[in-house]
Protein backbone atom coordinates (compact mmCIF):
# COMPACT_ATOMS: atom_id res chain seq x y z
CA UNK A 1 0.00 0.00 0.00
CA UNK A 2 1.16 3.55 -0.61
CA UNK A 3 2.75 5.74 2.02
CA UNK A 4 1.04 9.11 2.13
CA UNK A 5 2.97 12.33 1.62
CA UNK A 6 2.64 15.45 3.72
CA UNK A 7 -0.63 17.35 3.71
CA UNK A 8 -1.52 19.96 1.10
CA UNK A 9 0.40 23.26 1.34
CA UNK A 10 -1.53 26.27 2.52
CA UNK A 11 -3.20 28.17 -0.29
CA UNK A 12 -6.57 29.69 -0.98
CA UNK A 13 -9.41 27.43 -2.21
CA UNK A 14 -9.36 28.48 -5.91
CA UNK A 15 -5.60 27.87 -6.12
CA UNK A 16 -5.97 24.54 -4.35
CA UNK A 17 -8.80 23.37 -6.62
CA UNK A 18 -6.81 24.35 -9.72
CA UNK A 19 -3.79 22.43 -8.48
CA UNK A 20 -5.96 19.40 -7.69
CA UNK A 21 -7.35 19.44 -11.22
CA UNK A 22 -3.88 19.76 -12.78
CA UNK A 23 -2.44 16.91 -10.72
CA UNK A 24 -5.50 14.75 -11.31
CA UNK A 25 -5.27 15.22 -15.08
CA UNK A 26 -1.59 14.26 -15.06
CA UNK A 27 -2.45 11.12 -13.10
CA UNK A 28 -5.64 10.06 -14.83
CA UNK A 29 -5.01 10.55 -18.54
CA UNK A 30 -2.04 8.17 -18.93
CA UNK A 31 -3.60 5.58 -16.63
CA UNK A 32 -6.91 5.69 -18.48
CA UNK A 33 -5.05 5.23 -21.76
CA UNK A 34 -3.45 2.13 -20.28
CA UNK A 35 -6.79 0.87 -18.98
CA UNK A 36 -8.38 1.25 -22.40
CA UNK A 37 -5.54 -0.73 -23.96
CA UNK A 38 -5.94 -3.69 -21.60
CA UNK A 39 -7.56 -6.80 -23.06
CA UNK A 40 -10.86 -7.83 -21.52
CA UNK A 41 -12.59 -11.17 -21.58
CA UNK A 42 -14.80 -11.29 -24.65
CA UNK A 43 -16.36 -14.73 -24.36
CA UNK A 44 -19.33 -15.23 -22.04
CA UNK A 45 -19.69 -18.19 -19.75
CA UNK A 46 -21.79 -20.84 -21.37
CA UNK A 47 -22.53 -24.51 -21.21
CA UNK A 48 -19.42 -25.36 -23.24
CA UNK A 49 -17.07 -22.95 -21.48
CA UNK A 50 -15.19 -23.93 -18.33
CA UNK A 51 -15.82 -21.82 -15.26
CA UNK A 52 -12.94 -19.53 -14.28
CA UNK A 53 -10.71 -20.67 -11.44
CA UNK A 54 -10.09 -18.54 -8.37
CA UNK A 55 -6.54 -17.83 -9.59
CA UNK A 56 -7.81 -16.77 -13.01
CA UNK A 57 -10.25 -14.31 -11.48
CA UNK A 58 -7.51 -12.97 -9.20
CA UNK A 59 -5.40 -12.25 -12.29
CA UNK A 60 -8.32 -10.55 -14.03
CA UNK A 61 -8.79 -8.24 -11.05
CA UNK A 62 -5.12 -7.22 -10.87
CA UNK A 63 -5.22 -4.43 -13.50
CA UNK A 64 -8.00 -2.63 -11.61
CA UNK A 65 -6.14 -2.84 -8.31
CA UNK A 66 -2.77 -1.87 -9.79
CA UNK A 67 -4.07 1.08 -11.80
CA UNK A 68 -6.06 2.40 -8.85
CA UNK A 69 -3.03 2.12 -6.57
CA UNK A 70 -0.92 3.82 -9.23
CA UNK A 71 -3.36 6.73 -9.39
CA UNK A 72 -3.17 7.15 -5.61
CA UNK A 73 0.62 6.95 -5.52
CA UNK A 74 1.03 9.46 -8.34
CA UNK A 75 -1.58 11.75 -6.82
CA UNK A 76 0.35 11.78 -3.57
CA UNK A 77 3.12 13.65 -5.36
CA UNK A 78 0.80 16.64 -5.05
CA UNK A 79 -0.27 15.93 -1.46
CA UNK A 80 -3.11 14.20 0.32
CA UNK A 81 -5.89 16.21 -1.32
CA UNK A 82 -4.48 15.58 -4.79
CA UNK A 83 -4.55 11.85 -4.08
CA UNK A 84 -8.15 12.12 -2.90
CA UNK A 85 -9.11 14.07 -6.02
CA UNK A 86 -7.37 11.51 -8.22
CA UNK A 87 -9.16 8.65 -6.48
CA UNK A 88 -12.51 10.45 -6.79
CA UNK A 89 -12.14 10.67 -10.57
CA UNK A 90 -10.05 7.61 -11.33
CA UNK A 91 -11.90 4.90 -9.37
CA UNK A 92 -15.22 5.14 -11.28
CA UNK A 93 -13.43 5.70 -14.60
CA UNK A 94 -11.33 2.57 -14.11
CA UNK A 95 -14.35 0.56 -13.03
CA UNK A 96 -16.22 1.63 -16.16
CA UNK A 97 -13.34 1.01 -18.56
CA UNK A 98 -12.39 -2.39 -17.13
CA UNK A 99 -15.99 -3.62 -17.09
CA UNK A 100 -17.31 -5.42 -20.15
CA UNK A 101 -20.41 -7.40 -21.07
CA UNK A 102 -18.92 -10.43 -19.34
CA UNK A 103 -16.68 -9.00 -16.57
CA UNK A 104 -17.55 -6.53 -13.81
CA UNK A 105 -15.06 -5.15 -11.27
CA UNK A 106 -15.22 -2.75 -8.36
CA UNK A 107 -14.91 -2.10 -4.64
CA UNK A 108 -17.59 -2.45 -1.98
CA UNK A 109 -17.84 -1.60 1.70
CA UNK A 110 -20.18 -1.59 4.68
CA UNK A 111 -18.91 1.97 5.27
CA UNK A 112 -18.61 3.38 1.75
CA UNK A 113 -17.36 6.81 0.80
CA UNK A 114 -19.41 6.71 -2.39
CA UNK A 115 -22.91 5.24 -1.82
CA UNK A 116 -22.62 3.46 -5.17
CA UNK A 117 -20.00 1.22 -3.57
CA UNK A 118 -22.31 -0.44 -1.06
CA UNK A 119 -22.36 -4.19 -0.60
CA UNK A 120 -24.33 -6.35 -3.03
CA UNK A 121 -26.42 -9.25 -1.70
CA UNK A 122 -24.08 -11.93 -3.04
CA UNK A 123 -21.19 -10.42 -1.04
CA UNK A 124 -22.85 -10.39 2.37
CA UNK A 125 -21.91 -13.81 3.73
CA UNK A 126 -18.22 -13.40 2.94
CA UNK A 127 -18.34 -9.81 4.19
CA UNK A 128 -19.67 -10.91 7.57
CA UNK A 129 -16.90 -13.49 7.89
CA UNK A 130 -14.21 -10.95 7.04
CA UNK A 131 -15.72 -8.37 9.39
CA UNK A 132 -15.74 -10.88 12.26
CA UNK A 133 -12.07 -11.69 11.71
CA UNK A 134 -12.51 -14.98 9.88
CA UNK A 135 -10.31 -16.42 7.16
CA UNK A 136 -8.89 -13.54 5.10
CA UNK A 137 -8.31 -15.63 1.97
CA UNK A 138 -9.99 -14.57 -1.30
CA UNK A 139 -13.26 -16.32 -2.08
CA UNK A 140 -15.01 -17.54 -5.18
CA UNK A 141 -18.80 -17.62 -5.10
CA UNK A 142 -21.15 -19.40 -7.50
CA UNK A 143 -24.18 -17.19 -8.13
CA UNK A 144 -27.72 -18.33 -8.89
CA UNK A 145 -27.68 -17.01 -12.46
CA UNK A 146 -24.57 -19.03 -13.36
CA UNK A 147 -22.16 -16.12 -12.92
CA UNK A 148 -19.08 -16.50 -10.74
CA UNK A 149 -18.13 -13.89 -8.13
CA UNK A 150 -14.68 -13.28 -6.66
CA UNK A 151 -13.88 -11.31 -3.48
CA UNK A 152 -10.70 -10.06 -1.80
CA UNK A 153 -10.81 -8.29 1.59
CA UNK A 154 -9.24 -4.85 1.99
CA UNK A 155 -7.48 -4.03 5.26
CA UNK A 156 -6.53 -0.48 6.19
CA UNK A 157 -2.85 0.40 5.90
CA UNK A 158 -0.96 3.12 7.75
CA UNK A 159 -0.87 5.40 4.71
CA UNK A 160 -4.68 5.39 4.47
CA UNK A 161 -5.27 7.00 7.88
CA UNK A 162 -5.07 10.54 6.52
CA UNK A 163 -8.27 9.92 4.54
CA UNK A 164 -9.97 7.11 6.47
CA UNK A 165 -8.76 7.41 10.07
CA UNK A 166 -10.48 8.72 13.19
CA UNK A 167 -8.56 12.03 13.18
CA UNK A 168 -8.60 14.09 9.97
CA UNK A 169 -7.09 17.46 9.10
CA UNK A 170 -9.41 20.37 8.44
CA UNK A 171 -8.58 20.30 4.74
CA UNK A 172 -9.44 16.62 4.42
CA UNK A 173 -12.69 17.13 6.34
CA UNK A 174 -13.59 20.05 4.08
CA UNK A 175 -12.88 17.99 0.95
CA UNK A 176 -15.07 15.16 2.18
CA UNK A 177 -17.90 17.51 3.12
CA UNK A 178 -17.77 19.14 -0.31
CA UNK A 179 -17.48 15.96 -2.37
CA UNK A 180 -18.98 13.12 -0.32
CA UNK A 181 -21.97 14.34 1.66
CA UNK A 182 -22.90 10.77 2.64
CA UNK A 183 -19.34 9.68 3.52
CA UNK A 184 -19.12 6.85 6.06
CA UNK A 185 -15.55 5.76 5.36
CA UNK A 186 -13.78 7.26 8.37
CA UNK A 187 -13.01 6.14 11.90
CA UNK A 188 -10.82 3.21 10.85
CA UNK A 189 -7.59 2.06 12.50
CA UNK A 190 -4.62 0.31 10.92
CA UNK A 191 -5.48 -3.31 10.19
CA UNK A 192 -9.25 -2.79 10.24
CA UNK A 193 -11.30 -4.57 7.61
CA UNK A 194 -12.25 -1.81 5.17
CA UNK A 195 -14.27 -3.60 2.50
CA UNK A 196 -13.83 -5.66 -0.65
CA UNK A 197 -12.30 -5.74 -4.07
CA UNK A 198 -14.65 -7.73 -6.26
CA UNK A 199 -14.97 -9.21 -9.71
CA UNK A 200 -17.88 -10.99 -11.34
CA UNK A 201 -17.64 -13.18 -14.42
CA UNK A 202 -21.05 -12.87 -16.06
CA UNK A 203 -22.96 -15.86 -17.39
CA UNK A 204 -24.65 -15.01 -20.68
CA UNK A 205 -27.41 -17.37 -21.70
CA UNK A 206 -27.04 -18.77 -25.20
CA UNK A 207 -30.08 -19.49 -27.41
CA UNK A 208 -31.40 -23.02 -27.31
CA UNK A 209 -30.49 -25.08 -30.35
Q: What pLDDT sits at residue 25?
A: 53
Asked whether residue 172 carries a pLDDT value surpassing 50, the answer given is: yes
Q: What pLDDT sits at residue 14?
A: 47
* Residue 7 located in a structural domain: no
186 contact partners, CB below 8 Å, separation of at least 6:
163, 164, 165, 166, 168, 176
Asked whether residue 69 carries a pLDDT value surpassing 70, the answer given is: yes
Q: What pLDDT sits at residue 201?
A: 96
Out of 2-11, 26-35, 186-195, give the one with best mean pLDDT.
186-195
Cβ pair 16, 169 in contact under 8 A: no
Q: What pLDDT sits at residue 206?
A: 57
* Residue 194 located in a structural domain: yes
Length of the chain: 209
**pLDDT per position as a tens digit, 72-91:** 888 878 888 988 998 898 88
Asked whether residue 60 carries a pLDDT value surpassing 90, the answer given is: yes
Asked whether residue 195 carries a pLDDT value surpassing 90, the answer given is: yes
Q: What pLDDT sits at residue 185?
A: 97
**pLDDT per position as a tens digit, 103-161:** 999 999 999 999 999 999 999 999 999 999 989 999 999 999 999 999 999 999 988 89
Q: Is 93 helix (H, G, I), strand (E, B) or coil?
A: helix
Q: Which of 169, 155, 13 minimizes the C-alpha distance to 80?
A: 169
Q: Is 112 helix (H, G, I), strand (E, B) or coil?
A: coil
* Residue 6 located in a structural domain: no
Measured CA to CA, the distance from residue 41 to residue 160 in angstroms comes to 32
* Residue 2 located in a structural domain: no
* Residue 8 located in a structural domain: no
**pLDDT per position as a tens digit, 92-104:** 988 988 888 889 9
Question: 7-21, 147-161, 195-209 — which is least confidently predicted?
Answer: 7-21
Cα-Cα-Cα-Cα torsion 101, 103, 104, 107, nearest 10 degrees, comes to -170
* Residue 72 located in a structural domain: yes
Mean pLDDT of the chain: 81
| Higher-scoring residue by pLDDT: 189, 86 | 189
Q: What pLDDT sits at residue 26?
A: 52
* Residue 206 located in a structural domain: no
Q: What is the pTM of this model?
A: 0.77
Helix axes 13-37, 80-97, angle to 10 degrees: 30
* Tally of domains in the chain: 1
188 contact partners, CB below 8 Å, separation of at least 6:
111, 156, 160, 161, 164, 165, 166, 194
* Residue 47 located in a structural domain: no
CA 139 vs CA 66, 85, 136: distances in Å: 19, 31, 9
Q: What pLDDT sits at residue 87?
A: 87
Q: Which domain holds residue 74?
A: 13-41+52-201
What pairing do the DSSP bridges indicate for beta strands 193-201 and 148-155? Answer: antiparallel
- Confidence at 168, pLDDT banded by 50, 70, 90: very high
Structural element, H or E, at residue 201: strand 193-201
Amino acid sequence: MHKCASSWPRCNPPQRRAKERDVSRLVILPLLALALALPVQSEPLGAAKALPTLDQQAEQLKPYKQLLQGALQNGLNGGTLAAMAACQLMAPALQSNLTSAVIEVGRASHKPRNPANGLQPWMLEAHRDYLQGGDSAPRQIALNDGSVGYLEPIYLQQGCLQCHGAVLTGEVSDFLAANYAADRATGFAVGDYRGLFWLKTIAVKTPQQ
